[in-house]
Structure 1
């Protein structure tokens, strides 16, 4: 009669096999780190763009370049997934996380382009709430860049998604207050329409950061 090993031993064996199946290639983790750092560059440029006397055209063009860099990184990630027999965690989660990071950058670039093309930076000043949203996005970007390297060890990530959710709630409040200001009669109708489009992109960027953190939470739960 063969006596099965204790359950704890079985679990240990499963964990050992799982670890052996994971690739030693760090390129997936490097991609997420690079993409997050790229997004920090994006929020830095947005902050610069919103400042008085900024070289609006130059900053906007640099923001477009950063967005193109992120597109190239995303295509590189997809090619890597398609050519890898084993991935560090579920392929679907890797695709989703890469796509969501790209979405964040797309929204940031849209904000910069609209501010430039609509000539909104020529106003005496942008609404205070718009500056607040840009500042929140910069906090989310830095938090994400600091936290995503933790995917390799799957440790210390809970604080990240909790804080990212808190910041997204702050962004929602700033967005609502921005809408109140826009429809208060302080601006003419055409300016309101332009600013509303920018505000929507800022709010979408805040939401996109939360989507990233939700996916990280899903991955961490699966891998725990």
Structure 2
């Protein structure tokens, strides 16, 4: 059966699917990195982010025209913009690779990409069950998974930045990778924000 696109919960799922697509695209970029292809790859990533943006605008338009919503309007808005932040940060990483003319990928970037894929997949699992959260045995476990991944990302960030400043001698590379690692860590952090908001909504409506 075709999914109804005008249902808030299904719209969340659609945006979460875009987040997975963006995360997987980032993972492919860093695992088979080619600086000559980065202009094309960052444009491809922008197309994914733009598609999610269109869904966000559609959701906001729907919300503006309705008085009765399945959960509080403020919660719908918060979830939508937090999901959008995840996609924006993933896209920004590929833009930074291109703008800073990054020639080689540091191993920690690959580790971050794997964590971001894991987080976005866990969020999608949450949204798959969100409409029937009263009956779901899945959501809480996936929320915990996102929180665990964020802790792993914090540890990875500390290690990656320290290694950068200890081993790298080129100040331009240090500057560029400091920013890139920050955005990668923030992408994981924003995933946790989404998971925490889902948990808060469940608590308020239980």
TM-score, length basis structure 2: 0.91
Cα-to-partner distance string for 1:26-45 (whole Å, 9 max, x where unaligned) = 61011100000000110111
**Any conservation in 1 of the 2:31–2:110 contact (CA below 8 Å)?**
no
Matches within 5 A, 1:1-224: 27-54=7-34, 55-120=37-102, 122-123=103-104, 126-154=105-133, 155-156=136-137, 157-224=139-206
Q: Secondary structure at the match of 1:119?
A: coil
**Any conservation in 1 of the 2:29–2:41 contact (CA below 8 Å)?**
yes
Q: What is the CA distance between 1:111 and its match in structure 2? A: 0.5
Q: Which contiguous aligned blocks of 4+ residues in structure 1 show a shift greater than 6 angstroms?
A: none
Instruction: Give, in whole Å, the separation in 1 of the partners of 2:203 and 2:129.
Output: 14
Instruction: Give, in whole Å, the separation in 2 of the partners of 1:75 and 1:185.
Output: 45
**Any conservation in 2 of the 1:49–1:60 contact (CA below 8 Å)?**
no
Task: Count residues with an aligned counterpart.
Answer: 198
Q: Which runs of 5+ in 1 are unaligned?
A: 1-23
Instruction: Give, in whole Å, the separation in 1 of the partners of 2:42 and 2:25.
Output: 8
**Any conservation in 2 of the 1:33–1:148 contact (CA below 8 Å)?**
yes
Instruction: Give, in whole Å, the separation in 1 of the partners of 2:182 and 2:101.
Output: 17
Go from structure 1 to structure 2 and tell me whether the alpha carbon gap of 1:26 and 1:67 turns closer, same or farther (over 3 Å shift): closer
Q: Secondary structure at the match of 1:88?
A: coil
Go from structure 1 to structure 2 and tell me whether the alpha carbon gap of 1:82 and 1:176 turns closer, same or farther (over 3 Å shift): same
Q: Secondary structure at the match of 1:183?
A: helix
TM-score, length basis structure 1: 0.84
Go from structure 1 to structure 2 and tell me whether the alpha carbon gap of 1:180 and 1:187 turns closer, same or farther (over 3 Å shift): same
